[in-house]
Amino acid sequence: MSSTMRSGSLNEDQHHSAYDMVLLRLGSEITVKGKNRHRFEQVLADHVRKALRPFERVVVQHTYGRLYVMLNEHPYEEVAAALRDVFGLVSFSPVKKAEAELDAIRDTALAVFRANKGPKSTFKVTVKRGWKQFPHNSMEMNHQVASHVLRETPELKVDIRNPDVELRVDIQQGAAYVYCDVEQGAGGFPYGANGKALLLLSGGIDSPVAGWLGMRKGLTLEAVHFHSYPFTSEQAKEKVVTLSKRLLHYTNGKFKLHLVPFTDIQTSFAQAGQERLIITLMRRAMLRITEMIAERESAHAIVTGDSLGQVASQTLGSMNVIGRATDLPLLRPLVMMDKVDIIRIAEQIGTYETSILPYEDCCTLFVPKSPTTNPNLESVEKAEATIDNLDEMIALAVKNTVTVVLKQDEAEKKAAETAEDRWF
């Protein structure tokens, strides 16, 4: 996203100049939080400020429980593109401000109506009067505004039930706000509102999507990646760094990636003569290591990209036996989702292209011909008991974990830190 990006056609420019601010709406999950509401709004305002930092003239206002973005001549479309990535925003609208006075409202309503895209054969006007001293009531105002627009646009018809365009006017003391569009926001909670978890990040399609969904639900995430260097390549690791940088975009400006050396553990599993159980054993070891890192990082859950039935390790039986390796809650945002829907999100958040690069992951290296789909917990525990020094190897893997801290630029980080202060 760049503030120098120019919009193309004259039409679009006209569209932009029709608006001077954006009205932001919080998610309903946030609004039910009663007393916390103000704090949520403040954190959200901080995140919005951070997302809009590339737009120098834009100002975020937080007044009387409302969040506005003053565009100050920045093209609306560019600002909207940045707002779509802000978690906790349920929707937003480009708005034109008018004096709280009949003629001004009518003229502004007409300008907004004209700037609105799409077919406009029918319309409806909805006026809300927050300021009760305004001399005309809502019914009168509906009529006043609609008749003005109709007079200037003769082919137009009113349709109360199913209009092409709904022209909305919100009259407050000192100003009226006029808009048509309501754009869907990313929803969820502001980043970091719901605590910290560790994301098991492979190089595949699923886990970055699981991470994004976790972040959208307000989790602060750190990623844990297991590599079997030199069996897995440097490029495989780079791929995970690239995916992490993509996820960094949705954070408060900082994203930790823990790179765990898994070669020794994996090799000893391969030598244990339990071919069909190897994936189960690997996954359990991954969870045990992750739990130890979680303790060190004060994280309270593990997020994975598991999706029910996708592969042998993701049958209900496998999930049961694998999940028992940790006491931490395992959050699996994709568990009930179909692959096509997961891919659609991966494309939207920009991880798909990287995920499909063909570098080997540590788990694809040792995949047996017929992995068990229904492992028996007792047999798995027995197999683990036969492996010499498993506990020590697990402790050593934690000790030798390399942590990379990815950061956005300084300016963005500052805004992010303010946001963090408000939570903790």
Residues making contact with ligand ATP (CB under 6 A)? 200-202, 204-207, 224-226, 304-306, 310-311, 313, 361-363
CB of 240 to ligand ATP, least distance (A): 8
Between 188 and 204, CB nearer to ligand ATP: 204
256 Rama class: left (phi>0) / alpha (psi -120 to 50) / beta = beta
- Strand, helix or coil at 363? helix
221 labelled as ligand-binding?
no
225's contact among Mg ion, ligand ATP, none, with CB below 5 to 8 A by partner kind, is: ligand ATP
Which residue in 41, 170, 181, 206 binds Mg ion (CB under 5 A)? 206
Between 207 and 408, CB nearer to ligand ATP: 207
Which position has the token pair 């996954």?
283
CB of 288 to ligand ATP, least distance (A): 13
362's contact among ligand ATP, Mg ion, none, with CB below 5 to 8 A by partner kind, is: ligand ATP
Radius of gyration of the chain (CA): 27
CB of 301 to ligand ATP, least distance (A): 13
Closest listed residue to residue 214, CA positions, set 328, 91, 87, 340: 87
Closest listed residue to residue 357, CA positions, set 230, 240, 252: 240
201 labelled as ligand-binding?
yes
Between 116 and 326, CB nearer to ligand ATP: 326
200's contact among ligand ATP, Mg ion, none, with CB below 5 to 8 A by partner kind, is: ligand ATP
Is residue 125 a contact partner of residue 165, using CB atoms and an 8 Å limit?
A: no
Residue 20 binding Mg ion, by CB under 5 A: no
Which position has the token pair 């994301």?
199
**Residue type, position 196, single letter:** K
225 labelled as ligand-binding?
yes
DSSP for 84-106, please give it: TT-TTEEEEEEEEEE-SSHHHHH
Closest listed residue to residue 330, CA positions, set 208, 194, 212, 199: 199
Residues placed in the known binding site for ATP: 200-201, 225-226, 283, 305, 314
Binding site for Mg ion (CB under 5 A): 204, 206
